Structure 1
Amino acid sequence: MLPDLAPILDQRRFLTIAHHVPGRIRIKFDMTALARLPNIDPAPFADLIKRIRGVKTMRINAAALTLVVDYDCAEIPSPIWARLLVADKAEIEEIFARRLS
């Protein structure tokens, strides 16, 4: 059974990939998110990311509004990260169905 995908679906419009090399990605929350959603909580989004098979470590830098994920490229192809930010709900469900641990 898939977890609640609302954290990704609701918050991804405020996310951009700030830096990405195979095995490490930095995802940035847009500053406008703070104005629109003053009580935004990245924890549910981060908890969902941690459950993806192949994620080695994940850190939130609240001051920089970033989330850094170190991952195994053999488990998670690099293009998956960009797809999580733009794909429709069905594709995101498929991505998680294949990769949740």
Structure 2
Amino acid sequence: MEQLQQLRRYLSVGHHIPGRLRLRCRNPIVFQMIKREENQLNELLAQHPSIESYRLNLTTQSILITYDAEILPFELVEQLFCDDFDTVLNTGQSLLQRSLAAQ
């Protein structure tokens, strides 16, 4: 999560429907770094059981993430890129634990 917090300031939500999120990178240099370190991005996203896939788009400098909206609530994903990170992280961990426990 620390890595996500560091990247978060360079990303904005381009499009979001439940289960599908497009993040736009505000800085072309940062996007190139993400592309170069794609293995680390892979590891970061693989840690979360709700992430189904992702794709980097060099033309639009965006990341398309598909996720299981039943595990990761739409509202939490919205908050993750709009609200204070620490608040979202604490709330998100609590919601995630409850949703995984319910399965």
Q: TM-score by structure 1 length?
A: 0.68
Structure 1 position 41, deviation (Å): 2.4
Partner residue in 2 for 1:60: 56
Partner residue in 2 for 1:9: 5
Residue type of the alignment partner of 2:56 = I
Partner residue in 2 for 1:21: 17
Deviates more, 1:43-52 or 1:89-98: 89-98
Return closer, same or farther for 1:92/1:38 CA change in 2, 3 Å cut-off.
Answer: same
Could you tell me which of 80, 83, 87 is aligned with 2:84? 87
Structure 1 position 68, deviation (Å): 0.7
Return closer, same or farther for 1:90/1:20 CA change in 2, 3 Å cut-off.
Answer: closer
CA contact (8 A) 2:76 2:88 kept: no
Q: Deviations over 1:53-85 (max 9, x none)?
A: 221111111332111111111111112222222
Return closer, same or farther for 1:62/1:6 CA change in 2, 3 Å cut-off.
Answer: farther
Structure 1 position 87, deviation (Å): 3.1
Count of residues paired in the alignment: 93
Q: RMSD of aligned C-alpha atoms? A: 2.8
SS of structure 1 residue aligned to 2:16: strand
Percent of aligned pairs with the same residue? 17
Return closer, same or farther for 1:68/1:14 CA change in 2, 3 Å cut-off.
Answer: same
Q: TM-score by structure 2 length?
A: 0.67
Which structure shows the higher helix fraction? 2
Deviates more, 1:41-50 or 1:5-14: 41-50
